[in-house]
């Protein structure tokens, strides 16, 4: 029997019972569509996070003043004053792969200008910080090394802060803002960056020389963070190890003394940020796979009904000379055609839903060919697996019994 004829026979058998075919394939359609949408949403979220991480800058490594355990007291990352400006200088001197180093001191405070005030993040840094983290300036520019040396009362402000204090961000340049009653002159307006990987508004910040931040705002002598960037093409894990070695030595870490700092590369930050979405994606994929299997069982069920219903037809075909293998192939191809049609419809529904989700729910969806091919492959496989038993059952009928069947 020609293959073309078998396919045609299968399709016409399926079209004879359109409603049943649709309901049978529905399980697979939903399963395939669910796989495409869930994987697409997972990928979309991941791509968004990766873009945000990339906006941090190139080859960025962050060193946090770490969680330190002293006398049973544990303080969180960045909470303990374990890093100093000397550490930063030592890194610049002893790790040749580092291009830029910026000591940092972070804290929060209320800032005021005129009769407006706003609670924001104060970031103390060196001028290198703007290069490391790829900050641009809408107006004005960064402070200088000289400002750092003199703990100058200057700062640059993010777009959000400028808007809150001055209404129009452009009006902020040259104005004075008061932080803890100390007046600072605004010498630059930062370009807009938007939210970071954790969803925090990166434009809600005031950046000033780290010396000014430590002395005039926070009243501390230690750093909470050091931002560094490695030279282009550097082997990041090696650089991370070198930084760790230098700091271990300076802090006398070793033996039973735990590290009092934490070194995180951009890649590690990305992994942390995408860990949640990975688990969510995995769960969705498992749910979708279960619905694919249930769809397959639906197909088997209907094929078994179909074999019983068409016993007489099978008898007729056998009487006029169909071999068992002809009957097997007929029902097998019918099951596979059904599952492939379901798979294709599922792809269409999945792509449509993904479009709806991204357009109306505003969630990022990234569709790649991988999950589409996978979902289609699985649905075809489901047809093969669950179509085989009914086909075998049909092919092993006795022609005399089958012809007698009413």
Partner 1 sequence: MDAIIKLDHLEKTYHSAETPVRAVRAVSLEIARGDFVAIMGTSGSGKSTMMNILGCLDRPTGGTYLLDGVDVSGLSRNEFADVRNRKIGFVFQNFNLLARTSALDNVKLPMLYNHSGSKLSGKAQQDKAMKTLEMVGIGKRWDHTPSQLSGGQQQRVAIARSLINDPVLLLADEPTGNLDTRTSFDILGIFQRLNDQGITVIMVTHENDVANFAKRIIIMRDGKVRSDVQVQQRSIAEVELKKLEAEKDDDDS
Do the Cβ atoms of 129 and 227 come closer than 8 Å? yes
Question: Is residue 312 part of the contact set for partner 1 (CB under 8 A)?
Answer: yes
Question: Is residue 232 part of the contact set for partner 1 (CB under 8 A)?
Answer: no
DSSP state at residue 199: S
Do the Cβ atoms of 405 and 308 come closer than 8 Å? no
Q: Which residue in 192, 283, 319, 373 binds partner 1 (CB under 8 A)?
A: 319
Distance CA 322, CA 5 (A): 14
Q: Which residue in 58, 131, 201, 313 binds partner 1 (CB under 8 A)?
A: 313
Within 96-188, residue ranges assigned H as helices are 128-132, 145-149, 159-166
- Quote the least distance from Cβ 326 to partner 1, whole Å: 6
Question: Among the candidate windows 177-185, 248-256, 332-340, 396-404, which touches partner 1 by CB under 8 A?
Answer: 396-404
Helix or strand run (H / E) with residue 312: helix 311-319
Question: Is residue 320 part of the contact set for partner 1 (CB under 8 A)?
Answer: yes
Question: Is residue 364 part of the contact set for partner 1 (CB under 8 A)?
Answer: no
- Measured from the CB atom, is 81 or 324 closer to partner 1? 324
Do the Cβ atoms of 168 and 110 come closer than 8 Å? no
- Quote the least distance from Cβ 322 to partner 1, whole Å: 5
- Quote the least distance from Cβ 319 to partner 1, whole Å: 5
- Measured from the CB atom, is 156 or 307 closer to partner 1? 307
Do the Cβ atoms of 173 and 186 come closer than 8 Å? yes
- Measured from the CB atom, is 365 or 402 closer to partner 1? 402
Distance CA 6, CA 10 (A): 6
- Measured from the CB atom, is 359 or 396 closer to partner 1? 396
Q: Which residues contact 117 (CB under 8 A, 6 or more apart)?
A: 110, 111, 165
Reading phi first (left if > 0) and then psi (alpha if -120 to 50, else beta), residue 59 is in left
Q: Which residue in 325, 356, 370, 373 binds partner 1 (CB under 8 A)?
A: 325
Q: Which residues contact 359 (CB under 8 A, 6 or more apart)?
A: none
CA nearest neighbour of 287 among 37, 44, 23: 37
Q: Helices 85-94 and 236-251, interaxial angle, to 10°?
A: 130
Distance CA 348, CA 363 (A): 19
Question: Is residue 112 part of the contact set for partner 1 (CB under 8 A)?
Answer: no
Question: Is residue 53 part of the contact set for partner 1 (CB under 8 A)?
Answer: no
CB atoms within 10 A of CB 394: 27
Distance CA 92, CA 89 (A): 5
Question: Is residue 16 part of the contact set for partner 1 (CB under 8 A)?
Answer: yes
- Quote the least distance from Cβ 394 to partner 1, whole Å: 14
Question: Among the candidate windows 137-145, 189-197, 287-295, 323-331, which touches partner 1 by CB under 8 A?
Answer: 323-331
- Measured from the CB atom, is 72 or 321 closer to partner 1? 321
- Quote the least distance from Cβ 300 to partner 1, whole Å: 24
- Quote the least distance from Cβ 5 to partner 1, whole Å: 6
Question: Is residue 105 part of the contact set for partner 1 (CB under 8 A)?
Answer: no
Q: Which sign, positive or negative, has the C-alpha torsion 193, 198, 204, 209? A: negative
Question: Is residue 305 part of the contact set for partner 1 (CB under 8 A)?
Answer: no
| 19: Cα separation from own chain's centroid | 40
- Measured from the CB atom, is 6 or 357 closer to partner 1? 6
Q: Which residue in 248, 289, 326, 351 binds partner 1 (CB under 8 A)?
A: 326
- Quote the least distance from Cβ 299 to partner 1, whole Å: 22
Contact footprint for partner 1 (CB under 8 A): 1-2, 5, 16, 312-313, 315-326, 399-400, 403
């Amino acid at each position: 029997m020609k293959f073309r004829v078998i396919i045609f026979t299968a399709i016409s058998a399926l079209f004879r019972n359109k409603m049943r075919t649709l309901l049978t394939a529905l399980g697979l359609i939903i399963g395939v569509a669910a796989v495409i949408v869930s994987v697409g949403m997972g990928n979309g979220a991941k791509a968004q996070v990766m873009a945000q991480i990339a906006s941090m800058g190139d080859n960025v490594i962050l060193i946090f003043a770490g969680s330190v355990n002293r006398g049973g007291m544990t303080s969180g990352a960045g909470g303990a004053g374990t890093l100093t400006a000397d550490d930063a200088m030592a890194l610049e001197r002893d790790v040749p792969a580092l291009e830029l180093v910026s000591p940092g001191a972070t804290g929060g405070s209320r800032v005021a200008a005129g009769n407006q005030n706003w609670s924001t993040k104060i970031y103390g840094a060196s001028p290198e910080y703007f290069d490391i983290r790829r900050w641009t300036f809408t107006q004005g520019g960064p402070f200088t090394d000289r400002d750092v040396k003199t703990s100058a009362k200057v700062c640059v402000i993010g777009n959000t802060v400028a808007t809150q204090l001055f209404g129009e961000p452009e009006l902020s340049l040259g104005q004075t803002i008061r932080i803890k009653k100390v007046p600072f002159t605004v010498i630059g307006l930062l370009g807009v960056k938007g939210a970071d990987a954790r969803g925090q508004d990166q434009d809600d910040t005031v950046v000033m020389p780290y010396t000014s931040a430590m002395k005039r705002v926070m009243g501390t002598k230690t750093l909470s963070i050091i931002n560094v960037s490695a030279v282009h093409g550097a082997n990041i894990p090696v650089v991370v190890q070198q930084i760790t070695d230098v700091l271990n030595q300076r802090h006398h870490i070793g033996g039973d003394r735990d590290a009092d700092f934490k070194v995180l590369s951009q890649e590690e930050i990305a992994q942390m940020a995408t860990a949640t979405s990975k688990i969510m994606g995995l769960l969705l994929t498992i749910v979708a796979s279960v619905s694919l299997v249930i769809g397959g069982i639906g197909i088997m069920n209907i094929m078994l009904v179909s074999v019983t219903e068409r016993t007489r037809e099978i008898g007729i075909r056998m009487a006029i000379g169909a071999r068992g293998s002809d009957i097997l192939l007929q029902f097998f191809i019918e099951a596979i055609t059904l599952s492939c049609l379901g798979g294709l419809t599922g792809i269409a529904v999945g792509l449509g839903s993904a479009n709806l989700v991204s357009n109306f729910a505003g969630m990022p969806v990234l569709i790649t060919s991988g999950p589409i091919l996978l979902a289609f492959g699985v649905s075809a496989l489901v047809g093969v697996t669950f179509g085989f038993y009914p086909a075998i059952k049909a092919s092993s009928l006795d022609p005399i019994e089958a012809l007698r069947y009413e």
